[in-house]
Amino acid sequence: MAITAASKTSDFAGFLKPDQAQAYFDQARKSSSFMQLARQVPLGINGAEVPVVTSKATAGWVAEGAQKPASKGAVGIKTITPKKIAAIAVVSAEVVRANPANYMSLLREDIAEAFAIAFDAAAFHGTNTPFAQYIDQTTKTVELGTTVKANGGVYGDIVAGLKLLVQDGKKLNGFAFDRVVEPTFLSAVDNNGRPLFVETPLEDTASVVTPGRLIGRNAYIGDGLTTAVVPGTPNTGGIVGYGGDWSQAVWGTVGGISYDVSTQATVTINGALTSLWENNLVAIRAEAEFGLLINDVASFVEYTDHTA
């Protein structure tokens, strides 16, 4: 065809097809402990309604020929609404020219990690969250190191969290812990000398979340769960993990990832607006929509370590 204008990087702007975008969400799922444990649900652009059982039918013993007891259950509806999450990456025009047809793949892992970190911070701690509920709203807390070694040590602390839940009529079916407690778990054993945390074999050894078993439940050790540790600094304590009934939490995504490319806009870099055109830079903006619903925050217990 005849040339009407020079090709520009903005010609790449568009919408990633679902099969291309899926790799981003797969990466984000591997980087998020919350996504590993909570249930993913289909989510439309206008959100979704999730049925919630508010009461259950009951049964009773009756004598022969006697009247049978009447009972019914009740179901309520809660809405999960998608919220937008975004990230902007800036690269030099030379990088784009070196691989113009595949330049987005250079940023795949960084964007996936950024999405996962922001999602976990919102879901666990309520950090900059657009959602009404987050796990830190629970009132159940156990401090690691409070159980003496003779009574089980760290093993006893984990069981103490289980006790708080079952006493409140809740269940415990999984754990999510920050990587700062991994040395503690790997060196801890129960009263029979068995390791507390047992890693499970990985098909994908590149996963940044370590799966395993903790008191017979699925457990994941990953990054970004603690509220007290800055990378490169010593652990000074704080929230280091969670246990609970993860069927009480659901999440979903809407479609794929939309993106656009610009060489003309200005982007805040190191706290200052920077002209992309003047500095021969290219900005790639990625956006996605996530939804999150926690039905019952009381179904979770926090584990802290203020004496780390």
pLDDT digits 0-9 by tens, 156-206: 899 999 999 999 999 999 999 988 888 888 777 766 777 788 777 655 544
Instruction: Map residue 51 onto helix, strand or coil.
Output: strand
DSSP state of 181: G
Q: ∠ CA 134-139-145 to the nearest 5 degrees?
A: 105
Say which amino acid occupies 114: A
Could you give the domains of the chain? 9-45+76-304 (3.90.1690)
pLDDT digits 0-9 by tens, 69-126: 776 666 667 778 889 988 888 877 776 666 654 655 666 677 777 888 889 999 999 9
pTM for the structure as a whole: 0.76
Q: For residue 116, what is the enclosing H or E element? A: helix 108-120
Bridge-based pairing of strands 239-244 and 300-304 is antiparallel
Residue count of the chain, please give it.
Answer: 308
Bridge-partner residues for 217, per DSSP?
214
- At 107, list the tokens: 């940023």
Mean pLDDT of 29-55: 76
What is the CB neighbour count within 10 angstroms for residue 33? Answer: 30
